[in-house]
Amino acid sequence: MSRIVDVGIDDTPRAGTAPLLKVRDLRVEFSSSSGRVHAVNGVSFELEPHELLGIVGESGCGKSVTSLAILRLLAKPAGRVVGGQVEFDGMDLLGLGDDEMRDLRGRQVAMIFQDPMTSLNPVTTIGEQLIEVVQAHTKLNRQEAEKRALETLELVGLPNAKSRLKNFPHQFSGGMRQRVMIAMALIMGPKLLIADEPTTALDVTIQAQILDLIGRVARETGAAVMLITHDLGVVAGMTQRIQVMYAGQIVETATTEELFAHPRHPYTVGLLRSIPRLDIGASRELIPIEGLPPDLTRLPAGCPYAPRCAWAIDRCLVENPSLTVPGTTEPAEGLPLGTHLAACWNPATDEEARAGMPASGHISAVSLAAQERAAAAAAALGGQS
Amino acid sequence: MSSGSGAATSSAQVPAPAPGDAPLLSVDDLHMWFPITSGLILERHVGDVRAVDGVSFDIRRGETLGLVGESGCGKSTTGRAILRLYHPTGGSVMFDGVDLTKLEGEPLRRMRRRMQMIFQDPYASLNPRMTVGGIVGEPLAVHGIGSHAERRERVAELLDVVGLNPNFLNRYPHEFSGGQRQRIGVARALAVNPDLIIADEPISALDVSIQAQIINLLEKLQDEFHLTYLFIAHDLSVVRHVSDRIAVMYLGRIVEMVGSRELYERPLHPYSVALLSAVPIPDPEVEKHRRRIILTGDVPSPASPPSGCHFHTRCWLRERLGNPERCVAEDPVLRPLSSGHQVACHFAEEVDGSAEQVLQVTGRAAAPSATAPVVPTPPSAAAPSAAAPPPRPRGRG
């Protein structure tokens, strides 16, 4: 079943090393009744053709907003890009006209959303919805478009694809609906597939099916994938490179193996040590990250993670670190993709990462003070003693 | 109610209860069928959704039993039927020697004081018009415990126990974050000093960094107050972490019940093997060596479950064995395969030692140093809730 869909779509040979996507210092804000929400605060990264990139973070860290900003799908008028550049395949996406952007979406960059039920139109058959995509982007007639829809549904492993074309979204189970969503994203053979929490709404055995499918279609179609998730387990087996986000910034990035083997940023360490692992069980104690994520309308002056960080030193409270090679001040610019970078003044050592806490000498008065501040901040927000 | 299929299962429960150690909760052949009716004026009974279809298990005092399964498998319904939030269609629920299914009215209300529930969604399970003091104190008021002043004092104490500032008595739920709200739900459950707490997906709605706070809190409270937990969740990693034993459910029935460590290392039901294999492990080194069993299709409808073994329509083992008729014709009973390990599969012996069983686990095969070594973590300022009393002498995985 390895046929995809490359009729009438430009398939120009990709230049060897030129990145497919280049994001530079992206900043996004939302206006809200409680003030300006700084959702994305200077995010820079690159993505190569055919690459599988994981973006990991908790709700509100800006991972979804980053992808929506790339696709220019931010909720208007509240959300807007206030700075930075997005370059896709040599084009400046933020400068494109609305028509050009509309043509690019779906054809070159496609998105898979978290909740397939609310992303599909409930009053139209899925056949109609797929055909609509094809006809919006090509001059194919209805029969040809339907043939393309059928082929794509078969590619994503939908049983009885032919008769299913006439079904409405509610007639599918969650997993099957997500397959339809993936088919819709793939139907034009995009170069970049953005999957935003594609399996969060699904059961674990169905999640395995869908992740397997995304990996397979990425291989077969050669699309690059940006996999956005809060689940470190999902990215561990799927991606080549990972970026960890916190409070609208990338705090750490490395190849997948490097990141899990030698996490440097205390937040990454915290995430890894605060989730139970199926293969380890209760013999490993969970070390929670204390406190709460920061209020994005009032970001702290220094590192946004400092108030929750056991590694925090004086400098963390006043100066926000940028991505560097951990432990040095070597800037990220010009280093090859996949270089391990962290935005931290006092990165964790391997030993500390395994223990999930700084070596005792490191708990300085400052970090205790930081914890007290965090507790006070939490209390002010209405909570923890 | 028909008890034809259930009669067989009831006899084969509890492998070897230690003498003199009567279980706190003993569920026997529990059925919870919801009727499907048709017609507007004369409602005809046209079928049943068999949400829980013959479930039996025991929980000993101080133990945590994990109930795990995918959505629609009946795990939450089981929890609610035990607490009599539903009226079970059949079977018995013995709580400290009393059959809860036979109780009504005042005696039931009095029993309820000893069993409490923690709900999944901390946004939906707290009344937005009540203050935290009102919410946490309500069970005390309902059961007529203490005077008004005493109740207030008790509520402040409870908030302190769950790690909230006792001065926040007069605040409303919307002023708290998700994790803090879940702490309020925990405080409410603790208010009446229950013996049994049924926690239904207590951390699924929380952010990753907050989940560990609640898990550690539940473990600390169990030690402090000698609580017994029925921990219902879909996430096997979490269930393994908190449970002493785990029951795996599929389509209304328990398919495997075993100590939590052994479930991971030696699963014997084909569904358990597939379920374990599907759980991603946050370690690329481990993931590299694992093999995932991709089950085809979806869970069948509990309104018309497949005959015989409910799992036979998706079973990888049955396919391998040449689709034996027995899986379709005969209900498998939960039978003990080794001490404390029960499996409801006619061919469970074939699972043992199979490539599928071995390859879903890999920590074993890989060099132990490749995975994060087990670090005994000293209690510290960074993890105040970890500073628990001496570790329980338990066979936790």
Contact with chain A for residue B207, Cβ under 8 A: yes
Q: Are residues B290 and B372 in the same domain?
A: yes
Confidence grade of residue A16 (pLDDT, cut at 50, 70, 90): low
- Tell me which of B6-10, B38-42, B160-164 is least confident: B6-10
Q: Are residues B197 and B290 in the same domain?
A: no
A237 contacts in chain B (CB < 8 Å) = 280-281, 284, 287-288, 290
Q: Are residues B236 and B279 in the same domain?
A: no
For residues B297 and B45, the answer to whether their CB atoms sit within 8 Å is no
State whether B280 and A237 contact (CB < 8 Å).
yes
Q: Are residues B59 and B132 in the same domain?
A: yes
Pairing of strands B115-118, B196-200: parallel
A243-274: burial string, b at 16+ Cβ within 10 Å, e else: bbbbbbbbbbbbbbbbbbbbbbbbbbbbbbbb
A271 contacts in chain B (CB < 8 Å) = 208-209
Site from B71, B186, B209 to mutate, A interface, most A CB atoms within 10 angstroms: B209
For residues B372 and B285, the answer to whether their CB atoms sit within 8 Å is no
Residue (of A211, A192, A190) closest to A200 by Cα position: A211
User: Other CB atoms closer than 10 Å to residue B259's CB: what's the count?
Assistant: 19
Q: What is the pLDDT of residues B94-147, one digit of tens each?
A: 999 999 999 999 999 999 999 999 998 888 899 999 999 999 999 999 999 999
Confidence grade of residue B372 (pLDDT, cut at 50, 70, 90): very low
Residues 259-288 of B with CB under 8 A from A: 260-261, 264, 274-288
Q: Are residues B168 and B293 in the same domain?
A: no
Phi and psi based region of residue B383 (left: phi greater than 0; alpha: psi -120 to 50; beta: remaining): beta
User: How many CA atoms, within 13 angstroms, populate the side-chain half-sphere of residue A384?
Assistant: 23
Q: According to the per-residue pLDDT averaged within each range, which of B37-46, B210-219, B353-362 is highest? A: B210-219
Helix/strand/coil for B98: strand
Instruction: Give the containing element (helix H, strand E) for A257.
Output: helix A256-261
State whether A354 and B375 contact (CB < 8 Å).
yes
Looking at the 3D structure of chain B, how many domains does it have?
A: 2
State whether B285 and A261 contact (CB < 8 Å).
yes
pLDDT at A204 over 80: yes
Residues 296-335 of B with CB under 8 A from A: 296-299
Longest CA–CA span in chain A (Å) reads 72
Q: Are residues B18 and B110 in the same domain?
A: yes
DSSP B186-246: HHHHHTT--SEEEEESTTTTS-HHHHHHHHHHHHHHHHHHT-EEEEEES-HHHHHHH-SEE
A355 contacts in chain B (CB < 8 Å) = 375, 377
Residues 170-199 of B with CB under 8 A from A: 171, 175-177, 179-180
Report pLDDT for A379: 56
DSSP type of residue A310: T
Mean pLDDT confidence for B60-86: 94
Distances (CA, A) of B5 to A51, B12, B30, B91, B109: 53, 13, 12, 12, 32
Return the structure tokens found at B153.
Answer: 């004092």
Q: Are residues B151 and B57 in the same domain?
A: yes
The answer to whether residue B158 sits within a structural domain is: yes
Chain B nearest-CA residue for A275? B212
* R_g over Cα of chain A: 22
Q: What percent of chain A has pLDDT above 70?
A: 89
Order the strands of the A224-229 sheet from edge to edge: A109-112, A192-196, A224-229, A52-56, A241-246, A249-255, A341-342
The answer to whether residue B215 sits within a structural domain is: yes
Distance, in Å, from the CA atom of A151 to the CA atom of B323, rounded to the nearest integer, reads 31
State whether A237 and B180 contact (CB < 8 Å).
no
pLDDT at B377 over 70: no
Chain A nearest-CA residue for B372? A354
Residue (of A36, A113, A23) closest to A79 by Cα position: A36
Q: Are residues B25 and B73 in the same domain?
A: yes
Distance, in Å, from the CA atom of A121 to the CA atom of A174, rounded to the nearest integer, reads 14
Domain of residue B224, CATH code:
3.40.50.300
- Tell me which of A40-54, A290-304, B258-272, B304-318 is least confident: A290-304
Return the structure tokens found at A207.
Answer: 């999640």
State whether B275 and A205 contact (CB < 8 Å).
yes
Q: How many helices (H) and strands (E) does chain B have?
A: 15, 12
Site from B294, B296, B314 to mutate, A interface, most A CB atoms within 10 angstroms: B294
The answer to whether residue B41 sits within a structural domain is: no
| Higher per-residue pLDDT: B368 or A52 | A52
Distance, in Å, from the CA atom of B169 to the CA atom of B343, rounded to the nearest integer, reads 48
The answer to whether residue B55 sits within a structural domain is: yes
For residues B101 and B88, the answer to whether their CB atoms sit within 8 Å is yes
Neighbouring residues of B350: CB distance < 8 A, sequence distance ≥ 6: B317, B320, B321
- Chain A, chain B: beta-carbon pairs less than 8 Å apart: 214
Q: Interface pTM (ipTM) of the complex?
A: 0.81
Residues 87-146 of B with CB under 8 A from A: none
State whether B381 and A368 contact (CB < 8 Å).
yes
State whether A233 and B276 contact (CB < 8 Å).
no
Q: What percent of chain A has pLDDT above 90?
A: 66
The answer to whether residue B160 sits within a structural domain is: yes
Report pLDDT for B1: 40
B261 to chain A, minimum CA–CA distance in Å? 7
Q: Are residues B224 and B79 in the same domain?
A: yes
Q: How high is the mean pLDDT of chain B?
A: 85
Return the structure tokens found at A19.
Answer: 């990145």
pLDDT at A373 over 60: no
Say which residue the tokens 């429960």 belong to.
Answer: B13
Which range marks the domain in which residue B216 is found? 3-34+49-243
Nearest CB partner across the interface for A285, out of B298, B361, B377: B377
Confidence grade of residue B355 (pLDDT, cut at 50, 70, 90): confident
Q: What are phi and psi of A109, to 5 degrees?
A: -125, 125
Q: What is the pLDDT of residues B225-256, one digit of tens each?
A: 999 999 999 999 999 999 999 999 999 999 99
Say which residue the tokens 């995809």 belong to.
Answer: A4
Nearest CB partner across the interface for B208, out of A204, A271, A310: A271
B101 to chain A, minimum CA–CA distance in Å? 32
Q: Are residues B181 and B288 in the same domain?
A: no
The answer to whether residue B161 sits within a structural domain is: yes
Neighbouring residues of B386: CB distance < 8 A, sequence distance ≥ 6: A285, A286, A287, B216, B377, B379, B380
Nearest CB partner across the interface for A237, out of B175, B241, B284: B284
Q: What is the pLDDT of residues A211-266, one digit of tens each?
A: 999 999 999 999 999 999 999 999 998 999 999 999 999 999 999 999 999 999 99
Distances (CA, A) of A141 to A107, A127, A134, B269: 17, 14, 9, 51
State whether A277 and B282 contact (CB < 8 Å).
yes
For residues B54 and B5, the answer to whether their CB atoms sit within 8 Å is yes
- One-letter identity of residue B122: P
Neighbouring residues of B98: CB distance < 8 A, sequence distance ≥ 6: B111
The answer to whether residue B259 sits within a structural domain is: no
Residue (of B338, B328, B278, B281) closest to B308 by Cα position: B328
Q: Are residues B116 and B182 in the same domain?
A: yes
A276 contacts in chain B (CB < 8 Å) = 212, 215, 237-238, 240-242
Q: How high is the mean pLDDT of chain A?
A: 87
Report pLDDT for A360: 64
pLDDT at B395 over 70: no
User: How many CA atoms, within 13 angstroms, populate the side-chain half-sphere of residue A339?
Assistant: 15
Say which residue the tokens 């939490």 belong to.
Answer: A378
pLDDT at B343 over 80: yes
Where is the domain boundary, B243, B261, B283? Answer: B243
Nearest CB partner across the interface for B371, out of A279, A293, A310: A279
Q: What is the pLDDT of residues A326-367, one digit of tens each?
A: 988 877 777 888 899 999 999 999 999 999 889 864 444 445
Where is the domain boundary, B243, B262, B296? Answer: B243
Nearest CB partner across the interface for A58, out of B209, B212, B299: B209
Distance, in Å, from the CA atom of B391 to the CA atom of B397, rounded to the nearest integer, reads 14
Q: What is the pLDDT of residues A191-201, one digit of tens each?
A: 999 999 998 88
Site from B215, B241, B358, B364 to mutate, A interface, most A CB atoms within 10 angstroms: B241
The answer to whether residue B392 sits within a structural domain is: no
pLDDT at A283 over 90: no
Nearest CB partner across the interface for B236, out of A237, A260, A278: A278
Report pLDDT for B8: 39
Q: Are residues B314 and B226 in the same domain?
A: no
B375 contacts in chain A (CB < 8 Å) = 284, 354-356
Neighbouring residues of B181: CB distance < 8 A, sequence distance ≥ 6: B122, B123, B126, B173
* R_g over Cα of chain B: 22
State whether A357 and B208 contact (CB < 8 Å).
no
pLDDT at B390 over 60: no
A216 to chain B, minimum CA–CA distance in Å? 13
DSSP A174-235: HHHHHHHHHHHHHTT--SEEEEESTTTTS-HHHHHHHHHHHHHHHHHH--EEEEEES-HHHH
Distance, in Å, from the CA atom of B80 to the CA atom of B84, rounded to the nearest integer, reads 6
B69 contacts in chain A (CB < 8 Å) = none
